[in-house]
Structure 1
């Protein structure tokens, strides 16, 4: 289904691209073109992730509070994908001089986008701290750190382009950064679960292996033996 989603999405992009041209690069059509691109990126990330995972049930590798924070981060990331095109559609790069614009006040729209980003960043920082303190698997921590780096870099690009008068090359870099933020966010969230089979001694994604004590055959996890 995910593979067919990519095919359908590409066909949809062709149709939407033609409509965007026919309506004179209206910002709503341009935003739709961008959002569909982001859906395709998310689809591709999920497809790539699942292709490397075994079939069967999975279990969370983190506490419910961390799962809740991660879901909140995903929602805030999706919000950024909407507020970003709103800024572009209001500013000078929504098309040529004759192309329509959203009739909003650019500083206000940019401020909403910025607030969205700061809340997103705060949630990810809190999540990373909780993961570090709770002893989350190392791969999970590494993905959280990668997400934090991408968010900070993207925020720096956004503020720089605004202060420099929105040069086109920085706008292009910001769009590339948005793609990275979405991809890494989805990648991180997917990695919060591991196959249930890991409980039976098959190492999962950073899970502690189950081994048997040589003396009495009792199961020992994380280096602590238990007596029968």
Structure 2
């Protein structure tokens, strides 16, 4: 039984994933346009108004627009929870994942408010970004689980290859975290008066680049390992897509560094970080399958008893 769905969970989960990636892009726009304090207080936009005013200009519009997107994310997350609860039969894992996404969205909003109240402290701003990465992981998991069945997961690769993929995932997370540190040391603070984290940008960038090279090396190793064991084509394809995204992201990173961080390239690079993370998750999920229906033992055909006509005739020697 595939179950009755009163609300389409899978497209709602995909909408949640896309919207949370979009939040990273709009957050980048806030920082790169110097609109981080476009609404100088929180939860209100001004001391008297929850919305932007004409006097606040374009910076207020950009910051307030980013805040409005949070409400859209919350509405989609609530819809996902309702859809998961109304499924028949109800899947516990889908309910828990949808609730996790919903839980982190107001937490993300509170951290966003703290960034404003701390005048864009770079460490708080970095935490604000990393929470988005966590939400994307839960939203992606919900999207994938919404198309899977209730059977136990079936591994598609040997355990050592699976371990290599998890090491790759840890490296991908480290690349993103170090990218946050690099951003906190760079010039795009979100406001002219915002402080930086005090680290040397060149040193932070070199550490970030070193881990990027490690990530690319691990991805190449995984591709060769998957081909050597003749893994399913979908698994190999996911690893190749990840490598392509990593190379594109690395190229953008080098170009933006040597062209003194133009805002357009920095914004694309932030979008690329979300795509690298999503592609990494795709590799992890491609390493196993979960059948749509639990496996049931095949019925054994009944063995007919021999009839009298078929009974062997005793012969004498």
Shorter-chain TM range is 0.7 to 0.9
Q: Deviation string for 1:149-196 (max 9, x for gaps)? A: 111111111111001100111111011000001111011101101237
Counterparts in 2 of 1:180 and 1:52: CA distance versus 1, 3 Å: same
The Cα shift of 1:88 comes to 0.4
Aligned residues: 201
Bigger radius of gyration: 2
CA distance in 2, matches of 1:43, 1:196: 21
Q: Deviation string for 1:59-115 (max 9, x for gaps)? A: 211122211110001100111121001000001012322111111111100000000
Q: Deviation string for 1:27-67 (max 9, x for gaps)? A: 01110110001111111111101111111211211122211
- Which of 100, 108, 113 is the aligned partner of 1:5? 100
CA distance in 2, matches of 1:140, 1:88: 33
CA distance in 1, matches of 2:282, 2:237: 11
- Which of 205, 211, 215 is the aligned partner of 1:110? 205
Q: Is the CA contact 2:111–2:124 (under 8 Å) kept in the aligned structure 1?
A: yes
Which residue number corresponds to residue 187 of structure 2? 92
- Can you give the 5+ residue segments of structure 2 that lack an aligned partner in the other structure? 1-95, 297-317
Which residue number corresponds to residue 163 of structure 1? 258
Which residue number corresponds to residue 222 of structure 1? none
SS at match of 2:154: strand
Which residue number corresponds to residue 218 of structure 2? 123
Structure 1-normalised TM-score?
A: 0.84
CA distance in 1, matches of 2:288, 2:232: 11
CA distance in 1, matches of 2:291, 2:260: 52
Which residue number corresponds to residue 18 of structure 1? 113
1:176 equivalent to 2:271? Answer: yes
Which residue number corresponds to residue 216 of structure 1? none
Q: How do residues 3-82 of structure 1 correspond to structure 2 at under 5 angstroms?
A: 3-82=98-177
The Cα shift of 1:131 comes to 0.6
Which residue number corresponds to residue 153 of structure 1? 248
The Cα shift of 1:6 comes to 1.2
CA distance in 1, matches of 2:196, 2:107: 24
Which residue number corresponds to residue 83 of structure 1? 178
Larger strand percent: 1
